[in-house]
Structure 1
Amino acid sequence: MPPHAPLTPSQITTIKATVPVLAAHGKEITTRFYADVITSNPALKSVFNNTHQATGHQATALAGALYAYAAHIDDLSALTPAVELITHKHASLVIQPAQYEVVGTYLLKNMKLVLGDAATDEIMDAWGAAYWQLADLLIAKEKELYDSTNGWDGWRDFKITRKEKESEAITSFYLEPVDEALKRRAERLAYKPGQYISVNLFVEELDGGVWQARQYSLSDAPGKGYLRISVKREDAVEIGEPRHMAEPGYLSNILHARKEVGDVVNITHPFGDFWYEEGEVSADAPVVLISAGVGLTCLMSILKTVVGEGKGRPVAWIHGSRDEKTRAFRREVGKMAARDEKLRTVFFSSSPADGEEQGRDYDVKGRVDLDQVDKKVLFMDNDQALYFVCGPTQFMLDVESKLKSLGVSGNRIKMELFGTGGVPKV
């Protein structure tokens, strides 16, 4: 697909003038868009997350992305973090250029329907050009990502070779390729610690049966000959107002309850814009890993990589869970800490169970609070330290704010945003 003509100066002016309109009507446009495009193109049910559709999460995220794009239409460099996040997720879902044609058609159609007479030919022409400017950018970046997979294209069959319970709600699945050629080419299983894969499963409970994909962080160091994901069983998700619990997390429950050793699942090549890479900092620069709940999975990959480097890099592992039963990888982290004196750990428990003892089962009672962590453990005296943060959205924002208040520059704080459904702040 050849690139489209660039936006003209007058079209840029028109797009910037519509920023207030998107602020007022963006959610309505994107909500109608999703309903329309899925009804007219049922095959897209397998691309779009059913749960995020039910909660309105996906429409909100798209509205936010459109607003950010319009606001920065004359300086797209400001959108680089958003482009990285979106294209990695698209590549993980094997999005193809032809799908941009469908999305563009229905997005512009519903923009015009919502705006009515205000959607003049001038505005719609400008937005048509703007859409394809963004689409061309995403398509080109996604092609680069597909070309980087050493020949692993699309969905591949992987066998579950091991299933291990890590906590009350989190189970690890060890996956190995069914294709012997893929198994022999170790570089095809390469990834950067912190990245994720997509898992595609058939959900019988949805509309008579629908394929659905979800992203799960890889929780082991690369180079093992297998890929490990550690999945939290989601009992239910919150839908609608007033807030109430409904619908279980379909894929996580299928993995926990129905998939066993020997079963085959479809996955894609690892992607993701959140990772640790040896060489991005000096050999003795500290790494601080801060997580809450299931947010520890991607950080486990980083922890095992850093400790496995054998370079004695200082590392801090700060994690919060409800209690010991819900804390995954406690034994694994403990063994690493026993072997590596430069690995320091701090465990928070918000609601310790009866019989759990502070100092033995956890270090601090309560939610993760960096004010309760020794500043030496946080390496506040080292301006080369890197901070990796993963957990619920508000948790990450709170940690980021606290670190900045302690003097940590923003470029040394990395947050895993793929699970939030939004785009990075621009």
Structure 2
Amino acid sequence: MLSQKTIDIVKSTAPILAERGVEITSVFYKRLFEKHPELLNIFNHANQKKGRQQAALANTVYAAAEHIDRLEVILPAVKQIAYKHRSLGVKPEHYPIVGENLLAAIKEVLGHAATDDIIQAWGEAYGVIAQAFIDIEKEMYLEAKEQTGGWAGFKAFKVVKKEIESSVITSFYLKPADGSNVPDYLPGQYISVRLQIEGEAYLFNRQYTLSDSPGKGYFRISVKREADGHFPHGQVSNYLHDHVEIGDEIEVSAPAGEFVLDQGTSPVYLLGGGVGITPLMSMLNDLANKKSARQTVFIQASKNGEMTAFRNEVKEKMDSLPNGESYLFLENPTSIDRQDGGFDHQGFIGLAFLETIIKDPNAKFYICGPVPFMKAMIENLEQLGIKEANIHYEFFGPSLNLKEKQFV
């Protein structure tokens, strides 16, 4: 239990984190990896280079400081981050290391302003925050291990099928290398893939959504080749596309995540942009497998036909649903796209279109795609009077606060 003095100090210094949080966390990660380079085996290197992890941590600590006397307020955010930690293999012994280097970073950045009382208060507060994560993650590790076919940490899986879905997306079908069963999971969850890339000193972790429904005896991940013109910058995605073949083994964590399809009866709208379609494909396949009578509207946005994944699969699943309808938006249709006419609208999914197809304000909406896409969809839905509780979204990488347009 924190003293009132500690609570007062932490809350009074919270605004400093809003102002200098990214500076503090940037120093923190630099210190952390210099002193403990082995932790590079856990963290996503790409998010570090882009500064996303630094910003995410800064705002997480800020939120915790603001609510240090009522941590239950941020419990949903804590659980979301804890799922990512469990999926990546974060353990209790990592938290004291993080705490030591975070306090040192605060002192380095704030200088004389970081008095002994402030550092002591933050040390005590960090202990409480860390314990909240440790307790939740302990339950998550146990749940992952004790489910049928489950395990803790990482397990070897074999690639049994590799299928090109579009010019930029390829699916990998994975089965346990030891021949055991695949555990059940919820439509929309993700796994972590851990790779050793030749010539690299540290392992690479990436989280990929499971793009097929549960109960099929395999995991399917659908990976976009991340490249900028002729210069690939997605080290793991390019490695998977170019070097991982049928029969190869990769390490995988048990499924995790809270962006999952509810099992109710209300209408469901699935809105996906680019590779953000992957968790929605898991949801769509689950609805189709159960021959759900729910009104199901699938809305996909892509740049052009060549980059559009799962077109045939979407059509097949929608045709099997008694109350299903789908729409494909292409930003820049090619001449072949125009000739084939295999899309419904050119441009972006806009407010006017959504207004014409949303009949029930109590419907459930699931959104995944690039950040600008999700921001636009959320704003459109809110303008149409959709309640916040009915709008669900998932993003790839550190958590984002799309309303405040900042990392959290």
TM-score (norm 1): 0.90
Offset at residue 170 of structure 1 (A): 0.3
State the Cα deviation string for residues 282-326 of structure 1 (Å, max 9, x = none): x3x111000110000011000111122113111000010011100
Aligned partners of 1:141 and 1:420: how far apart in 2? 18
- The one-letter code sitting in structure 1 at the alignment partner of 2:100 is T
Quick check: 100-109 or 246-255, which moved more? 246-255
Which residue number corresponds to residue 241 of structure 1? none
Structure 2 counterparts to residues 1-400 of structure 1, below 5 A: 6-149=1-144, 150=147, 151-180=150-179, 182-183=180-181, 186=182, 189-204=183-198, 208-236=200-228, 248-278=233-263, 281=264, 283=265, 285-357=266-338, 360-373=341-354, 375=356, 377-378=357-358, 380=359, 382-400=360-378
The 1:358–1:347 alpha-carbon spacing in structure 2 relative to 1, beyond 3 Å, is farther
Aligned partners of 1:179 and 1:153: how far apart in 2? 15
Of 412, 417, 420, the residue aligned with 2:390 is 412
SS of alignment partner, residue 302 of structure 1: helix
State the Cα deviation string for residues 366-417 of structure 1 (Å, max 9, x = none): 0222422463x33x3x243100000112221221111111111000000003
Quick check: 356-365 or 73-82, which moved more? 356-365
State the Cα deviation string for residues 122-143 of structure 1 (Å, max 9, x = none): 1111101111111110111111
Quick check: 109-118 or 353-362, which moved more? 353-362
State the Cα deviation string for residues 227-249 of structure 1 (Å, max 9, x = none): 00000000149xxxxxxx96610
SS of alignment partner, residue 317 of structure 1: strand
CA contact (8 A) 1:192 1:277 kept: no
Offset at residue 424 of structure 1 (A): 7.2
Offset at residue 358 of structure 1 (A): 8.1
Aligned partners of 2:12 and 2:232: how far apart in 1? 41
- The one-letter code sitting in structure 2 at the alignment partner of 1:272 is G
The 1:420–1:86 alpha-carbon spacing in structure 2 relative to 1, beyond 3 Å, is closer
SS of alignment partner, residue 274 of structure 1: coil
CA contact (8 A) 1:204 1:210 kept: no
The two structures, once aligned, show a CA RMSD in angstroms of: 1.8
The 1:417–1:82 alpha-carbon spacing in structure 2 relative to 1, beyond 3 Å, is farther
State the Cα deviation string for residues 149-208 of structure 1 (Å, max 9, x = none): 22411110000000000000000000000123x32xx5xx11110000000011335xx4
Structure 2: tracts of 5 or more residues without a match: none
Aligned partners of 2:142 and 2:128: how far apart in 1? 22
List, as ranges, runs of 4+ consecutive aligned residues in structure 1 with deviation greater than 6 Å: none
State the Cα deviation string for residues 252-310 of structure 1 (Å, max 9, x = none): 011100000000000000001211132xx2x3x11100011000001100011112211
Which residue number corresponds to residue 403 of structure 1? 381
SS of alignment partner, residue 93 of structure 2: helix
CA contact (8 A) 2:291 2:320 kept: no
- The one-letter code sitting in structure 2 at the alignment partner of 1:156 is K
Identical counterparts, % of pairs: 40
Offset at residue 359 of structure 1 (A): 8.5
Which residue number corresponds to residue 242 of structure 1? none
- The one-letter code sitting in structure 2 at the alignment partner of 1:401 is E
Structure 1: tracts of 5 or more residues without a match: 1-5, 238-244
TM-score (norm 2): 0.94
SS of alignment partner, residue 329 of structure 2: strand
SS of alignment partner, residue 356 of structure 1: helix
SS of alignment partner, residue 174 of structure 1: strand
Quick check: 134-143 or 353-362, which moved more? 353-362
Offset at residue 52 of structure 1 (A): 1.5
CA contact (8 A) 2:350 2:380 kept: no
State the Cα deviation string for residues 314-342 of structure 1 (Å, max 9, x = none): 10000100111000000101112223241
Aligned partners of 2:107 and 2:398: how far apart in 1? 29
Aligned partners of 1:55 and 1:204: how far apart in 2? 23
